[in-house]
C-alpha cells in the first residue's frame, strides 16, 4: 500500500482533441505517471458494449487517443489497446465506439483478448480465471475508464474496468461464484491485485448517471482525472457522485485488505469540492446490507442466496424488447428464456427463484427494456 496517492483532476469541457491532450498531459505529470520509456504498455479502455461514443457507455476514443499520444511522447516502445465486452464476438475490435480507428491512426496495436488467454490465480481467492494473454507480454497496464454509475456496484471506475481483462462469458460465470455485491467486490479487488495496474485515467467529460453502466443517462461532468492508484481514483469518483465512500463495495473490500492509500492528495481540483448534489445515483440497498451483515457470520450459502433475492429484481418491458436474446445468452444463472405463448407471441420470462440479481441482462440490453431500480426503491 502506498501511503499517499495522487488524483489529479481538471476541467475539460468537450472532446476537442487538442484540449484533451494538453489537459491529460498536465494531469499525468501531477499524478506521477510512471516512466514508460522502452516499456510495452496495455491501454485498457472500458468497452462494455461496442456502442457509439455519444451513448457514453465506452471510454471516448479521443481520450484513448490522448493516452496513446502521451505514451508515445514518453517513449513507450509498444502500445497495445484491448477490451472484452460482455458478449464478445470473434473479430471484435472496437469499431463502433471509434477506438479501432484511433488505434490505426495512432499506431497502437489492437489485441484480441480471445486469443491465447492465460489462466491466472486471482489474488486473495481460490479462483483461477482465463485472462487476456497480452498481460504476460506487457510491462504495465493503464486502466482508462469511464465515469459511470453501476446497478450492481453503484459506481464503476478504474478498478472495475479491469474485469474486462477476463475474456467473454467467463465474466458472467464469475457472478454465479461471487453472487453478492460483497463477494463480487472481493473478486474485482483480487483481479486488481493480480494485475497491479501502473496508472489510471478517467473520462468524466460526459459521464453516466441513473441506470448505468449501459442504460443510464449521459451527464456532463466536464472533468478528466489521472491517478497512480485505481482505489484513489474510484474514491474521488464516488465522492463526486455524492456517495458515502463506505457504501461502495469495492472500496470497502480494498479497505478491509489494507489496500487503500492512507492519504489522497488532489494537486489541482479537490474531489470533495466537486460533489454533484443532484447526481442520479444508483440507490444503496441498505436493507439487504443490514440483513447480510447479521446473517453472514452465522449462516451458510443457501440462506445467503435467499437473502440475495431481497435485492431488486430485473423487470422486463415487453413493448420495448426486440427479442435479441442478449439477456438470455448472458444470464449466468440460466434464469431467462424466450417463451412462446399459445398465440405464437414470444416473451422473455425470468425465473426469479434462479435469478441471482447480477444485472448482466440489464447491462447487455441494447434498448433499455430491462429496469432494476424504480423510483420507489430509491435510497431505502
Ligand atoms: S435474470 Fe438478469 S439479474 Fe437475474 S441472474 Fe440472469 S442476468 Fe442476472
Ligand atoms: S436484451 Fe433486451 S431487447 Fe434483447 S431480448 Fe433481452 S430484454 Fe429483449
Atom of ligand 1 nearest to the CA of 359: 3
130 Cα: distance to centroid of ligand 2 (angstroms)? 28
Q: Looking at the 3D structure of the chain, how many domains does it have? A: 2
pLDDT at position 309 over 70: no
- Between 378 and 159, the more confident residue is 159
Same domain, 358 and 237: no
**Is residue 305 pLDDT above 70, yes or no?**
no
Atom of ligand 1 nearest to the CA of 172: 7
Residue that terminates a domain, selected from 273, 303, 326: 273
| pLDDT score at 88 | 83
Going by alpha carbons, the residue nearest to atom 8 of ligand 1 is 358
- 68 and 144 belong to one structural domain: yes
Indicate if 153 and 258 belong to the same structural domain.
yes
Same domain, residue pair 322 and 200: no
Over the chain, what is the mean pLDDT? 92
CB 356 near ligand 1, within 6 Å: yes
Average pLDDT over residues 337-342: 94
Residue 328 Cβ contacting ligand 1 at under 6 Å: no
State the average pLDDT over residues 17-30: 98
Looking at all shown ligands, the one closest to residue 318's CA atom is 2
Is the distance from the beta carbon of residue 370 to the nearest atom of ligand 2 less than 6 Å? yes
User: Backbone phi, then psi, for 375, in 5-degree steps?
Assistant: -60, -30
Q: Let me know if residue 142 belongs to a domain.
A: yes
Question: In this structure, which residue's CA is closest to atom 8 in ligand 2?
Answer: 321
**Averaged pLDDT, 356-377:** 84
Nearest CA to ligand 2 atom 6: 327
Q: Which residues contact 229 (CB under 8 A, 6 or more apart)?
A: 2, 5, 6, 7, 200, 261, 264
Assign 310 a pLDDT band (cuts: 50, 70, 90).
Answer: confident
Lowest mean pLDDT among 116-120, 197-201, 292-296: 292-296
- Of the listed ligands, the closest to the CA of 319 is 2
Q: What is the CATH number of the domain that holds 184?
A: 3.40.50.11440
- What was the pLDDT predicted at 102? 98
Residue 291 lies in a domain: no
Q: Give the whole-number percent of the chain exceeding pLDDT 90.
A: 86
Shortest-distance ligand to the CA of residue 327: 2
Q: Is 335 in the pocket of ligand 1 (CB under 6 A)?
A: yes
Answer left, alpha or beta for residue 114, where phi above 0 means left and psi between -120 and 50 means alpha: alpha
- Which residues, including other chains, have CB under 8 Å from residue 300's CB and lie 6 or more apart? none
Q: What is the pLDDT of residues 275-298, one digit of tens each?
A: 999 999 999 987 545 445 454 444
Mean pLDDT in residue range 358-370: 95
* 161 CA → ligand 2 middle, Å: 24
Say what the pLDDT of residue 311 is: 87
- Which ligand is the nearest neighbour of the Cα of 353? 1
Our mutation pick for probing the ligand 1 site, out of 336, 349, 365, counting the most ligand atoms within 8 A of Cβ, is 336
Mean pLDDT, residues 19-48 = 98
Q: Is residue 295 part of a domain?
A: no
Strand partners, 248: none
Q: Span 153-179, mean pLDDT?
A: 95
* pLDDT at residue 302, as a whole number: 57
Asked if residue 125 and residue 268 are part of one domain, the reply reads: yes
Distance 325 CA to ligand 1 centre (A): 13
List, as one string, the DSSP characters of 271-320: GGG---TT--PPPP-HHHHHHHHHHTTT--HHHHHHHHTTSPPPEE-TTT
Is residue 129 a part of any domain in this protein? yes
- What's the pLDDT score for residue 148? 98
For residue 295, the CA-to-ligand 1 centroid distance in Å is: 23
Location of C-alpha cell 475508464: 145
Query: Looking at the domain assignment, is residue 302 inside a domain?
Result: no
For the chain, what percent of residues have pLDDT higher than 70? 91
Give per-residue pLDDT as tens, 241-276.
999 999 999 999 999 999 999 999 999 999 999 999
358 pocket-lining for ligand 1 (C-beta < 6 Å)? yes
When pLDDT is averaged across residues 145-160 and rounded to a whole number, the result is: 97
Of 273, 288, 319, the last residue of a domain is 273
CA 333 – CA 172 distance, rounded (Å): 9
374 pLDDT more than 60: no
Q: Are 327 and 315 in contact (CB under 8 A)?
A: no
Could you give the CA distance from residue 84 to residue 113 in angstroms, rounded to a whole number?
Answer: 6
Cβ of 171 closer than 6 Å to ligand 1, yes or no, is: no
Cα 258 from Cα 252, distance rounded (Å): 10
**Domain around 347:** 311-377
pLDDT for the residue numbered 307 = 57
Model-level pTM greater than 0.85? Answer: yes
Q: Is residue 139 part of a domain?
A: yes
Confidence of residue 303 (pLDDT cuts 50, 70, 90): low
Q: pLDDT confidence of 365, banded at 50, 70, 90?
A: very high
Amino acid at each position: 500500500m502506498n501511503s499517499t496517492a495522487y488524483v489529479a483532476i481538471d476541467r475539460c469541457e468537450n472532446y476537442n482533441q487538442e484540449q484533451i491532450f494538453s489537459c491529460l498531459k498536465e494531469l499525468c505529470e501531477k499524478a506521477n505517471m510512471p516512466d514508460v520509456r522502452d516499456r510495452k504498455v496495455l491501454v485498457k479502455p472500458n468497452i462494455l458494449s461496442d456502442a457509439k461514443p455519444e451513448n457514453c457507455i465506452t471510454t471516448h476514443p479521443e481520450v484513448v487517443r490522448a493516452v496513446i499520444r502521451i505514451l508515445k511522447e514518453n517513449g513507450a516502445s509498444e502500445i497495445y489497446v484491448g477490451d472484452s465486452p460482455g458478449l464478445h464476438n470473434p473479430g471484435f475490435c472496437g469499431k463502433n465506439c471509434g477506438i479501432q480507428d484511433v488505434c490505426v491512426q495512432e499506431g497502437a496495436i489492437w489485441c484480441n483478448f480471445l486469443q491465447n488467454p492465460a489462466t491466472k490465480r486471482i489474488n486473495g481467492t481460490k479462483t483461477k480465471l482465463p485472462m487476456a494473454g497480452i498481460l504476460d507480454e506487457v510491462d504495465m497496464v493503464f486502466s482508462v475508464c469511464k465515469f459511470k454509475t453501476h446497478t450492481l456496484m453503484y459506481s464503476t471506475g478504474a478498478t472495475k474496468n479491469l474485469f474486462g481483462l477476463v475474456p467473454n462469458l467467463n465474466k458472467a460465470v464469475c457472478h454465479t461464484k461471487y453472487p453478492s455485491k460483497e463477494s463480487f467486490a472481493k473478486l474485482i479487488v483480487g483481479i486488481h491485485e493480480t494485475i497491479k495496474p501502473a496508472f489510471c485515467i478517467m473520462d468524466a467529460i460526459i459521464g453516466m448517471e441513473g441506470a448505468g453502466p449501459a442504460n443510464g443517462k449521459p451527464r456532463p461532468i466536464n472533468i478528466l482525472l489521472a491517478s497512480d492508484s485505481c482505489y484513489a481514483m474510484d474514491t474521488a469518483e464516488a465522492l463526486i457522485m455524492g456517495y458515502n465512500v463506505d457504501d461502495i463495495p469495492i472500496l470497502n473490500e480494498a479497505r478491509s485488505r489494507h489496500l487503500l492509500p492512507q492519504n489522497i492528495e488532489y494537486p489541482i481540483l479537490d474531489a470533495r469540492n466537486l460533489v454533484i448534489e443532484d447526481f442520479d445515483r444508483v440507490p444503496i440497498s441498505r436493507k439487504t446490507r443490514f440483513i447480510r451483515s447479521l446473517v453472514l457470520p452465522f449462516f451458510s450459502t443457501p440462506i445467503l442466496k435467499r437473502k440475495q433475492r431481497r435485492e431488486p429484481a430485473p423487470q422486463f418491458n415487453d413493448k420495448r424488447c426486440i427479442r435479441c436474446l442478449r439477456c438470455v445468452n448472458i444470464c449466468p444463472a440460466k434464469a431467462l428464456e424466450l417463451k412462446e405463448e399459445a398465440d405464437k407471441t414470444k416473451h422473455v420470462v425470468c425465473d426469479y427463484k434462479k435469478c441471482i440479481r447480477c444485472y448482466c441482462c440489464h447491462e447487455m440490453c441494447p434498448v433499455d427494456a430491462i429496469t432494476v431500480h424504480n423510483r420507489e426503491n430509491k435510497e431505502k
